[in-house]
Amino acid sequence: MKKLDSFLLDAVLGLVFLLVNIVSIYLLLRGHNLPGGGFIGGLMTGMSFILLGLVRGWKDLQTEIPVEPLRTATIGVTIALFSGLLPVFRGDPFLTQYNFHATEVPLIGELHIGTPLLFDIGVFLLVCGMTVKLIIVLARSTSGLPPFSKEETHLYASVLEDPIEDAVKGKETPHAD
Amino acid sequence: MPDIENSTPILFAALLGVILLPLFVAPLALALGSRLGRRTGYVAMAAPLLALGLISWIACKWPDGGQRIVSVPWVPSLGVNLSFIIDGLSLFYGFVISGIGVLVCWYAAQYFEDRQKSLGWFFACLLAFMTSMLGAVFSNNLVLLFAFWELTGIASFLLIGFSHSDEKARLGARRALLVTVATGLCLLAGLIMLGLLGQTYEINVLLERAGALSQAGGPLLTAAGVLILIGAFGKSAQFPFQFWLPGAMAAPTPVSAYLHSATMVKLGVFLTARMFPIFGTLEFWMPMVAGVGLFTMLLGAFLALRANDLKAILAYSTVSQLGFLIGFYGLGSAQGVRFDFVHVISHVFYKGSLFMIAGIIDHSTGIRDVRKLGGLGKLMPLTAGAALIATAALAGVPLTTGFISKEIMLAEVGKLADAQPIGWVFFGMVALSAIFTVAFASRLFLGVFTGKKPTDLHFHAPGLVLQLPPILLAAAALVFGIFPGALGNVLDRLSVSGLHAPAEGYLALWHGFNRELLASTIILIAGTLLYLWAKKTAWRWAVTPRWLQFDQAFDRGVDGLGGFSKKLTLALKADWPPAYLPIVIFFLLVIVFGAVIANAGSLKDISTLELKFDPLRTFVAALITLGLGAVLLLRRWTSQLVALSISGFFLTFYFVLYHAPDLAMTQILVESASVVMILVLVSRFSSASRAGTRFEFTFTWPQIVRAVLALGMGLLGTGLVLFAELNKHPDPVGPRMRELSKPLAEGTNAVNTILVDFRAFDTMGEITVLLIAALAGIGLMMRYKRSSGGKDAMSAPGFLLGGKNKKP
């Protein structure tokens, strides 16, 4: 898929990206009490990256994202698991949730926060990372680019295997990036 | 309930420190790895060093021959406790693991070259491995023991596959993991059976009840024992699992030295010793343990004789020695064994040393083939000296610990032979493998360190610091070989009741002229003669026969499994939904409608349903139907997909009408993400291929069948909705969740509290599945094809095979 050549879209993109992510983090934080939560927030952030990819092109998106999405997803699961294992060390059952209440917090006032939020952050990171990774691979793969950068190919692909393009043409095609 | 006797917090803290210290240092090693390079090893060394100190402190506090349990409940509902046992056995292995751990870290810090990458990762894995080993030997709970047992498997997988760009390393790591994990499953089954029989998972309680348990006997106990032994045999590379150990030699040498001399493979020996008081008197024990162990000893020695690679010789000899160690437990009388620690510690001394020496030779010449080496003695006299002692200990030459160990073994087998005729078979096996061992041990030393140096051999001298660890180990083998009494005194203090026979006799170099001495002399002479004959024939026959290696058969089995599942997938046409969906739907309809007809009497009459007309909902339903109708009428499949998404978006209104904002938001976001994905995919197809045909009903049989099935599914959906409306559950879960949301989960959004609190375990599973699905999806989209041709067992089913599938 080629990138969209629209000046307007390109110009407002940064603002839209910022706004969407503010909303998504807001949804994440309020999730326990009002509609929202990690899944919705994560999907929203994922969508904002998809938008970025559609406008700026998928090839650049991969290099622009500071962290590897798959790693984000893994970290997400780890955080969720950690929040579940935390009570085990205190002798409570797996996934017991703790809540803390503070009545006088500067600037905020009342604050109710608990380990469910940690769990939700894990879900957020997983959903976001997974969406971004899948869409990048899919988009690159369908637009004729190699699905992975060179380092990733080294990580994921077996040495017994070649990209299908290479196997068909019988010659090395230079990797992008 | 476990006895919590003598449980002091300080002791518990110290023991936790021993086990967790390496794990805590691991992230540090990982972080410093890129900056310090190989010198990270010195940082890593701190962990086993501290652990060694702590174990010594614990040992000082510990009454001789006693047993202390420290325990905190972990999952009390399942009888799983974080409980640790301090007795002679665990302390002995604790000393070995941390002591050799220090030397291995030291050695590795010198062994690696500066350009070697990701050493931080290496040391982190090594430390994680150390933690799991220490945890396994100190565990007093069968479940905890199993958890640590499996962790060693995973850590060793990472260590063996450290140089993962090398195909051999990956294969070796995969084999080791598959074998140890598969046998680990047997172990789990055996441990659970044992726990149920003994009504506890606490090892100390089980050991107390050992007498009653083995007297009661029964097939279940035998089955548990056999399963546990299979687990131990898998870990300790006993026949028929011995093939993974030589394959694991692809690991860097420090790993081999650690895993195969002191730790991982010793875990099976440890477990055999741990279980000895419970199963030792049962009938199956002696033939199975001694038979398998001593047969493996012979097989390993035979294979070591026919190998040429330095590390392969050592690997097969490790297999052989492990057979010796495990077989020894099968020979003992019901009162227990004695001096078993001597074998273990002696093996640790010389095998650890030999592996490190092999690494030094590889390091300084780049060659590991014995045939291409020679004359290194003059170039590195220190290493040669250490190698002399270590190979002498391997061969069982007097003045080394190896001699003491072999004497004990021969005495024990001789005793058995006096009592039972089968003992002579065992005696023959031990003697024969000892002869082989003498021959290849001579070859190891004489072939590498004496003779002429091949002219094309490049040599650069190894540093002194690198040579020190093997020299220390060899020196220990020599010192304790000359003064075995000192070793005996220390090891006697570590004796465990139930496992060890009451002390009689003592370790000494000279026991007078007896049968063992005669046998030893004959073995040494015969071994030397065998070596001389082999040298005369220039070891031309020294090729490992493929059929004895088992690894190819194993790989074929693994490939066969892949091939089978691929065939099955193809047979089920998993990549072509129109082939399997009708079958699935047909059975779904038969089952559900069958259930409805069978229970027709108890269902409420449909006429009692109150029908209410809601204009908004009807409007939304009409919109959704419009989208679905468009799918049927539109010509191009791309437009059909878009129409389908549109009805998906309309569905959102339904959620809004039912006051479910969370669901509405999720629905919108999921729909938009999938629309983008679909559009990205669509752009890949040429415009010609995007043109489709208009759907026409032609009254052919397949179409009629599908139409009936489709109508049936529609009926089923409608029916289920009406059924749910008519037959409401007397105590629906929804309102309760909403009520309890605030008091129990302290949140007012019931949807979210269900997801992250009430049903968090489900969510946990779901996000894990999501991650796995993402990885699988990436694998599918990689568009990689196996280039080697031939068998394609591992490639994706369906679309890569082309031609075999029906075109839509």
**pLDDT at residue B423 is higher than 90:** no
Residues of B within 8 A of A80 (CB-CB) are 763-764, 767
* pLDDT interval class at B333 (50, 70, 90): low
Q: Which two tokens stand for residue B257?
A: 């030295």
CB contact under 8 A, B662 and A127: no
**pLDDT at residue B795 is higher than 60:** no
SS3 A112: strand
Give dist(CA B366, CA B458) in Å, integer.
Answer: 8
Q: Which two tokens stand for residue B658?
A: 């039912």
Instruction: Report H helices in A31-112.
Output: 38-56, 58-64, 69-89
Residue with tokens 């559609």: A54
Residue A20: its pLDDT value, please? 93
Tell me, rounded to whole angstroms, the distance of Cα B805 from its chain centroid: 38
Mean pLDDT value across residues B328-333: 77
SS3 A122: helix
How many domains are contained in chain B?
A: 2
Identify the residue with better confidence: B7 or B295: B295
Q: How, if at all, do strands A109-114 and A161-163 pair?
A: unpaired
Residue A174: its pLDDT value, please? 43
Instruction: Report H helices in B37-138.
Output: 40-61, 88-111, 119-138
Residue B557: its pLDDT value, please? 82
Domain residues of chain A, as ranges? 7-159
Claim to verify: residue B349 and residue B420 sit in the same structural domain: yes
Please name the amino acid found at residue B805: N
Identify the residue with better confidence: B141 or A111: B141
Residue B2: its pLDDT value, please? 38
Mean pLDDT value across residues B292-316: 88
pLDDT tens-digit series, residues B662-671: 889 999 998 8
* pLDDT interval class at B5 (50, 70, 90): very low
Mean pLDDT value across residues B258-280: 85
Does residue A41 sit at the B interface (CB-CB below 8 Å)?
Answer: no
- ∠ at Cα B686 (B682, B688), nearest 5°? 115
Claim to verify: residue B526 and residue B410 sit in the same structural domain: yes
Nearest CA in chain A to B164: A155
CB contact under 8 A, A143 and B672: no
Domain presence at residue B161: no
Ramachandran bin of B370, using left for φ above 0, alpha for ψ from -120 to 50, beta for the remaining angles: alpha
Any residues with CB less than 8 A from the CB of B333 and at least 6 apart, and which? B501
Give dist(CA B135, CA B639) in Å, integer.
Answer: 60
Residues of B within 8 A of A47 (CB-CB) are 669, 672-673, 676
Q: For every one of its 177 residues, what pLDDT tens digit does chain A have, with 9 covering 90 and above?
A: 556 677 888 888 889 999 999 999 999 988 888 888 889 999 999 999 888 888 888 777 777 787 888 889 999 999 999 888 888 777 677 778 787 777 777 766 677 778 888 899 999 999 999 999 888 888 887 776 777 777 777 666 665 556 655 544 444 444 433
Query: Residue B782: how many CB atoms within 10 A of its CB?
Result: 22
Mean pLDDT value across residues B402-421: 82
Any residues with CB less than 8 A from the CB of B600 and at least 6 apart, and which? none
Q: Are B193 and B224 in contact (CB under 8 A)?
A: yes
Phi–psi pair at B783, nearest 5 degrees: 55, 50
SS3 B699: coil
Tell me, rounded to whole angstroms, the distance of Cα B305 from its chain centroid: 29
**pLDDT at residue B369 is higher than 70:** yes
Closest of A19, A12, A21 to residue A46, by C-alpha: A21
pLDDT tens-digit series, residues B710-720: 999 999 998 88
Domain presence at residue B685: yes
Claim to verify: residue B516 and residue B610 sit in the same structural domain: no
Residue A8: its pLDDT value, please? 84
ipTM value of the model?
A: 0.87
> Which of B680, B751, B770 is nearest residue A126 as measured by Cβ atoms?
B770
**pLDDT at residue B164 is higher than 80:** no
**pLDDT at residue B697 is higher than 60:** yes
Does residue A15 sit at the B interface (CB-CB below 8 Å)?
Answer: no
Residue A22: its pLDDT value, please? 93
**Chain B interface mutation, best of A136, A161, A172, highest count of B Cβ atoms under 10 Å:** A161
Work out the burial of residue B461: count CB atoms within 10 Å of its CB; fewer than 13 is exposed, 13-18 middle, 19 or more buried. exposed
For CA atoms B500, B501, B502, B504, the dihedral sign is: negative
- ∠ at Cα B87 (B85, B90), nearest 5°? 75
In eight-state DSSP terms, residue B8 is -
Q: Among B669, B696, B723, give the residue marking a domain's end.
A: B696
Residue A171: its pLDDT value, please? 41
**pLDDT at residue B799 is higher than 50:** no
**pLDDT at residue B97 is higher than 80:** yes
CB contact under 8 A, A1 and B683: yes
pLDDT tens-digit series, residues B10-23: 888 888 888 888 88
Distance set, CA B768 to CA A74, B343, B476 (Å): 9, 45, 50
Residue with tokens 């070995």: B96
Distance set, CA B274 to CA A7, B145, B229 (Å): 74, 11, 11
Query: Residue B786: how many CB atoms within 10 A of its CB?
Result: 18
Residue with tokens 């005669």: B518
**pLDDT at residue B187 is higher than 90:** yes
**pLDDT at residue B141 is higher than 80:** yes
Claim to verify: residue B486 and residue B346 sit in the same structural domain: yes
DSSP B423-449: HHHHHHHHHHHHHHHHHHHHHHHHHHH
CB contact under 8 A, B752 and A31: yes
Torsion, Cα A20 A26 A28 A30, to 10 degrees, reads -150
How many alpha carbons fall within 13 Å on the CB side of residue A106? 0
Residue B709: its pLDDT value, please? 93
Domain containing B618: what range?
604-696
DSSP B654-676: HHHHTT-HHHHHHHHHHHHHHHH
Residues of B within 8 A of A148 (CB-CB) are 782
**Chain B interface mutation, best of A16, A33, A75, A127, highest count of B Cβ atoms under 10 Å:** A33
* pLDDT interval class at B150 (50, 70, 90): very high
Phi–psi pair at B793, nearest 5 degrees: -60, -30
Any residues with CB less than 8 A from the CB of B54 and at least 6 apart, and which? B14, B15, B17, B18, B21
Claim to verify: residue B511 and residue B618 sit in the same structural domain: no
Beta bridge partners of B70: B84
**pLDDT at residue B67 is higher than 60:** yes
Domain presence at residue B571: no
**pLDDT at residue B427 is higher than 70:** yes
Any residues with CB less than 8 A from the CB of B512 and at least 6 apart, and which? none
Instruction: State the first-to-last Cα distance of chain B, in angstroms, to the nearest integer.
Output: 64
Residue with tokens 């079958």: B583
Residue B407: its pLDDT value, please? 83
Residues of A within 8 A of B760 (CB-CB) are 84, 95, 97, 116, 119
Any residues with CB less than 8 A from the CB of A169 and at least 6 apart, and which? none
Claim to verify: residue B683 and residue B535 sit in the same structural domain: no
SS3 B684: coil
Q: Are B315 and B260 in contact (CB under 8 A)?
A: yes
Give dist(CA A133, CA A143) in Å, integer.
Answer: 15
SS3 B68: strand
Chain A, residues 103-142, CB within 8 A of chain B, namely: 112, 114, 116, 119-120, 122-123, 126-127, 130-131, 133-135, 137-139, 141-142
Mean pLDDT value across residues B367-382: 81
**Chain B interface mutation, best of A27, A39, A132, highest count of B Cβ atoms under 10 Å:** A39
Q: Which two tokens stand for residue B737?
A: 């969740």
SS3 B378: coil
3-state helix, strand, coil in chain A (%, to 5): 65, 10, 30
Q: Are B406 and B396 in contact (CB under 8 A)?
A: yes
* H-run or E-run covering B408: helix B401-419
* pLDDT interval class at B39 (50, 70, 90): confident
Domain presence at residue B614: yes
CB contact under 8 A, B680 and A161: no
Instruction: State the first-to-last Cα distance of chain A, in angstroms, to the nearest integer.
Output: 17
Residue with tokens 């779901």: B766
Claim to verify: residue B540 and residue B621 sit in the same structural domain: no
Residue B507: its pLDDT value, please? 67
Give dist(CA A75, CA A126) in Å, integer.
Answer: 7
**pLDDT at residue B319 is higher than 80:** yes
Identify the residue with better confidence: B263 or A103: B263
DSSP B535-581: HHTTTTT----GGGT-HHHHHHHHHHHHHHHHHHHHHTTTT-HHHHH
Q: Which two tokens stand for residue B620?
A: 């939304």
Give dist(CA A27, CA B284) in Å, integer.
Answer: 64
Domain presence at residue B449: yes
pTM, two decimal places: 0.74
Ramachandran bin of B544, using left for φ above 0, alpha for ψ from -120 to 50, beta for the remaining angles: beta
Claim to verify: residue B527 and residue B626 sit in the same structural domain: no
Claim to verify: residue B532 and residue B668 sit in the same structural domain: no
For chain A, how big is the Rg over CA atoms in Å?
Answer: 20
Closest of B389, B248, B235, B396 to residue B316, by C-alpha: B248
Query: Residue B731: how many CB atoms within 10 A of its CB?
Result: 7
> Which of B764, B774, B794 is nearest residue A95 as measured by Cβ atoms?
B764
Domain presence at residue B626: yes
Does residue A54 sit at the B interface (CB-CB below 8 Å)?
Answer: yes
Q: What is the mean pLDDT of chain B?
A: 82
Ramachandran bin of A100, using left for φ above 0, alpha for ψ from -120 to 50, beta for the remaining angles: beta
Give dist(CA B395, CA B495) in Å, integer.
Answer: 27
pLDDT tens-digit series, residues B568-604: 888 887 777 888 889 999 999 999 889 888 887 777 7
